[in-house]
Chains A and B, each alone.
Chain A
Amino acid sequence: MKPARFDYYDPTSVDEVLALLQQYGDEAKLLAGGQSLIPILNMRLAKPAVLIDLNRVAGLAYIRELDSQLQIGALTRHAEVERSPLIATRQPLLAETVRQIGHSQIRNRGTIGGSLAHADPAAELPAVMVALDGTFCLRGPSGVREVPAGEFFLMYFTTCIRPDEILTEVRVPVLPPRTGYAFLELSRRHGDFALAGVACTLTLAADGTMADCRLGLTGVSMTPVRATAAEARLQEGRPEPGLFAEAAGLVRAAVAPESDVHGSAEYRRHLAGVLTERALATALQRASVLLETEQLETEGGREG
């Protein structure tokens, strides 16, 4: 298990990376955490002429907040997101999701940008990006291009990143007030690729009615899926189990998964519904706690 011959570059700046991409384009592969690329190189399924190692590039690993958006550098390791106090308080859905990626060894090396650019159809982060309407920042020879999550994923393992571009940053909005969340997935063994997974946020209005609800699914299509029909139904109802079961039915009707040795298409479809229902219940519970706390604080304020 050794890769085929390649030329190796380890640039230290994004500009250098862009110059290399200009020169080699399609012939080159970018190496981030290597958790997906290295196995396919070693099995010689991919034989790029050039490997551009990003690990020495400065300024691509960071987590910061600006104007209610979290900006995450593409080279940020999953483990850093997992442990970030900013993520934990401002976008806990991301923290919950990242914890379910592979094993801790994988999360120590694997990067946010690498996972998203790899676009595995069963990966966790793509579902979160579409559910949150995240943004992808791609740098190319003519500057930065911002792509909404809904337009980023094209196909299995295929994104809209051009051969002369590099993903430098992803952005997600912070969770609004009174918002519960959940990421649920099921795999045959811990750390395996998910058979199906659901990212969910649920925002309650101050009077306890539904203000907003988002659902992103993974493992059920060539790309992550936003469950728009289910979201629309959820928006017009009262947040309660009956409505969640209805939404789960709409999710089952909307997805067209494939069969493989790990699970049949029918099973995956069923699972997408079950996970949706459970994710909604968890998100509602968390949102209700926040709503109650908010109400208590308001009352406390009045009394004081």
Chain B
Amino acid sequence: MQVTGDFQFEGPRLSVWALLNDPIVLARCTPGCEELTPDGPDRYQATVKIGLAAVKGTYTGVFRIADKQEPASTTQPATMTLQIEMSGSSGFVNVAGRMELADNGPVTRLHYDWDVQVGGPIAMVGQRVLAGVARWIIGDFFGAAGKELAARQQAG
């Protein structure tokens, strides 16, 4: 399923780009992320514990940042794709998360278009709420990233 949306960061594109390429930030902002260890350039081994109410699962797999385009000119948007492939006892989650960062004065507008594939028992039972849950998790992720950016800006 496609989950698309926009998020505004209160800071310049350069800072947002650095933020989203920082594994420590990725680990801190991903809901339920228990471990994110580098495993090659722009590649990480991850363990994420996530769930709703009684249905909780631990998923392990790979986080990758791919298709990085960071033009020097600020008139053109910078783009990257977050590739996530995780699996656990209750199913699997594959994500190709395209993100486009456009300079907009002092703020950065991020447009995201994530292709989220969920399979296994969790998809069978949770089909009705998958899209909503995916949107919620992605919103949480960007919300946390926005707070990280604010903290960095303040630290100067």
Contact = CB atoms under 8 A, between A and B. Distances in A.
Contacts of A29: 54
Interface in B73-96: 89-90
Contacts of A119: 53
B127 A40 contact: no
B91 to A, nearest CB: 9
A259 B131 contact: yes
B151 interface: no
Contact of A122 (B52, B125, B128): B128
Contacts of A156: 52, 129, 132-133
B147 interface: no
Interface string A182-194: 0000000000010
Interface in A152-206: 155-158, 193
A113 interface: no
A262 B131 CA distance: 13
Contacts of B128: 121-122, 193, 260, 262
A155 B125 contact: no
Contacts of B130: 260
A148 interface: no
Contacts of A144: none
A19 interface: no
A102 to B, nearest CB: 15
Given A40-B125, A121-B129, A157 B89 contact: no
Contact of A39 (B122, B125, B132, B135): B125
Interface in B128-150: 128-133, 135-136
A208 B124 CA distance: 50
A44 interface: yes
B55 interface: yes
A37 interface: yes
A260 B136 CA distance: 16
Interface residues of A, number: 24
A260 B118 CA distance: 13
From A44, A122, A262, name the one whose CB has the most chain B CB atoms within 10 angstroms. A44
Contacts of A43: 121, 124-125
A182 to B, nearest CB: 24
A44 B53 contact: no
A1 to B, nearest CB: 11
A289 interface: no
A260 B128 CA distance: 6
Nearest to B130: A260
Nearest to A121: B129
A261 interface: yes
B113 to A, nearest CB: 16
A44 B127 contact: no
A258 interface: yes
Interface in A22-59: 29, 37, 39-40, 43-46, 48
B125 A260 contact: no
Contact of B127 (A45, A48, A222, A260): A260
Contact of B131 (A40, A44, A193, A260): A260
A45 B55 contact: yes
Contacts of A222: 129, 132, 136
Interface string B34-62: 00000000000000000011111100000
Nearest to B53: A157
Interface of A: 29, 37, 39-40, 43-46, 48, 118-119, 121-122, 155-158, 193, 222, 258-262
Interface of B: 1, 52-57, 89-90, 121-122, 124-125, 127-133, 135-136
Given A45-B57, A46-B54, A258-B129, 15 more contacts: A29-B54, A44-B89, A45-B122, A121-B128, A156-B129, A156-B133, A157-B52, A157-B55, A158-B52, A222-B129, A258-B132, A259-B1, A260-B127, A260-B131, A262-B128
26 contacts: A29-B54, A39-B125, A40-B54, A44-B89, A44-B121, A45-B57, A45-B121, A45-B122, A46-B55, A46-B56, A48-B54, A118-B53, A121-B128, A121-B132, A156-B52, A156-B133, A157-B52, A157-B129, A158-B52, A222-B136, A258-B129, A258-B131, A258-B132, A260-B127, A260-B128, A260-B131
